[in-house]
């Protein structure tokens, strides 16, 4: 399963600096609009202390974390929904992502220009959300026009589809994002092929100064604005994170301590992105390999088996399941079984976060 987060924002908000720190991929950084034209892509490991402890227990030659792919997408400008800047090309790149990390600038720096003329993160959120809403409104309106024609041909479910599209259109027309509609699973499925931008999970990343980063908190007004859009907010100094990425692991803790920062912002962002995508982590663990796997919440053992290999799902017999905490406390599978804490589950078992699973299958 490839899960991706698009890093978006106005030009010079710090998107590429943040991306470089996340991935050490060396995306170009510059003080002018559209430094990034084609999206840069990097894969980021999701920090998980359970994986590290399982690796210590089994000491395998391979330890593989769960990952999230981040895409550094070109800066947005006013009028993007009408084709300004990179326009539809930019919006198309966002539609390919599972979640959006919206970077807004909250630091003052006379050497770094701002496309809107001054620093105002609330305005920047409004600008970007408006452009995404306008793009979605156009998409929904076109589909609604087609649906209203098909109802005259008396096709099945056309009336139900029209009612849903009208609700979405009116919600967008009132200046709201689709993610705040509280749609049910069936309704989301009906809208899935529209790839609505404002229906995509959102985290607002506030790019703050060094002093603001030490406080760790998101300004209340920005946190409230993110919630109004159906998202969450996180404060990070992209400059600090980029410096941190260049240090040796042994030096990072002391660097953070000197700045009064408890945890790297990028670790918090990776975890938050993982949560936004409604993911659980399950593990496979043994002497050859310890690995973390990402799986959508609510999916079953046979889905988990298929995410590893299609043959596992086709020939699924059963899953041997335990909780990572129980396995770590027991110290071995043998001791775990003696304690009666390893279960046999069928294909309909819903995978829980922290499950350690061994699949039995027959090809």
Which sequence spans correspond to the domains of the chain?
4-276, 298-361
Give the number of other Cβ atoms within 10 Å of residue 269's Cβ.
24
Q: How far apart are CA 206 and CA 217, in angstroms?
A: 10
* Per-residue pLDDT tens digits for 165-215: 999 999 999 999 999 998 988 899 899 999 999 999 999 999 888 777 777
Residue 66 has pLDDT above 50, yes or no: yes
Fold of the 4-276 domain: Rossmann fold (3.40.50)
Q: CB burial class (10 A; 0-12, 13-18, 19+) of residue 110?
A: exposed
| pLDDT value of residue 154 | 57
Q: Does 52 appear as a known binding residue?
A: no
Look at residues 125, 66, 109 and name the one whose alpha carbon lies nearest to residue 292: 66
Q: Does 209 appear as a known binding residue?
A: no
| pLDDT value of residue 25 | 44
Q: Which two tokens stand for residue 35?
A: 């430094």
Residue 80 has pLDDT above 70, yes or no: no
For the segment(s) 298-361, the CATH number from 3.10.20.30, 3.40.1010.10, 3.40.50.300, 3.40.718.10 is: 3.10.20.30
Computed over every residue of the chain, the mean pLDDT equals 84
Q: Does 314 appear as a known binding residue?
A: no
Q: How far apart are CA 46 and CA 271, in angstroms?
A: 6
What does 336-354 look like in DSSP terms, one character per residue? HHHTT--EEE-TTPBP-TT
Q: Does 17 appear as a known binding residue?
A: yes
User: What one-character DSSP code corresponds to residue 300?
Assistant: B
> Where are the alpha helices (H) located in 96-157, listed in sequence order?
121-152
In this structure, are strands 289-296 and 279-285 parallel, antiparallel, or unpaired? antiparallel
The answer to whether the 4-276 and 298-361 domains have the same CATH topology is: no
Residue 332 has pLDDT above 90, yes or no: yes
Query: Has this prediction a pTM greater than 0.85?
Result: no
Specify the higher pLDDT residue, 125 or 245.
125
Q: Does 362 appear as a known binding residue?
A: no
Residue 338 has pLDDT above 70, yes or no: yes
Q: Does 150 appear as a known binding residue?
A: no
Q: How far apart are CA 160 and CA 156, in angstroms?
A: 9
């Amino acid at each position: 399963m490839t899960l991706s987060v698009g890093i978006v924002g106005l030009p010079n908000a710090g998107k590429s600096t943040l991306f470089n720190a996340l991935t050490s991929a060396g995306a170009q950084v510059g003080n002018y609009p559209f430094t990034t034209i084609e999206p840069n892509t990097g894969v980021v490991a999701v920090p998980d202390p359970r994986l590290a402890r399982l690796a210590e227990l089994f000491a395998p030659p391979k330890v593989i974390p769960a990952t999230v792919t981040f895409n550094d997408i070109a800066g947005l400008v006013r009028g993007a929904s009408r084709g300004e800047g990179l326009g539809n090309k930019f919006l198309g790149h966002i539609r390919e992502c599972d979640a959006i990390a919206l970077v807004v600038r909250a630091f003052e720096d006379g050497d770094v220009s701002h496309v809107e003329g001054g620093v105002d993160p609330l305005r920047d959120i409004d600008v970007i959300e408006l452009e995404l809403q306008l793009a979605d409104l156009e998409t929904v309106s076109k589909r609604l026009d087609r649906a209203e024609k098909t109802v005259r041909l008396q096709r099945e479910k056309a009336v139900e589809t029209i009612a849903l599209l009208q609700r979405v259109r009116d919600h967008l027309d009132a200046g709201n994002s689709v993610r705040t509609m509280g749609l049910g699973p069936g309704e989301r499925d009906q809208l899935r092929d529209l790839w609505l931008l404002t229906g995509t999970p959102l985290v607002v990343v506030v790019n703050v100064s060094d002093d603001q980063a030490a406080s760790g908190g998101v300004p209340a007004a920005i946190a409230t604005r993110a919630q109004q859009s159906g998202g969450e907010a996180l404060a990070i100094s992209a400059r600090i994170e980029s410096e941190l990425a260049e240090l040796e692991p042994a030096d990072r803790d002391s660097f953070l301590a000197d700045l009064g920062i408890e945890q790297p912002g990028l670790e918090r962002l990776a975890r938050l992105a993982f949560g936004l995508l409604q993911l659980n982590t399950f593990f496979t663990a043994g002497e050859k390999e310890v690995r973390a796997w990402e799986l959508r919440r609510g999916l079953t053992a046979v889905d988990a088996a298929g995410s590893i290999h299609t043959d596992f799902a086709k020939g699924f017999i059963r899953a041997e399941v335990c909780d990572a905490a129980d396995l770590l406390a027991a110290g071995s599978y043998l001791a775990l079984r003696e304690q009666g804490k390893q279960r046999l589950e069928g294909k309909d078992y819903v995978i829980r976060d922290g499950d350690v699973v061994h699949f039995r299958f027959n090809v």
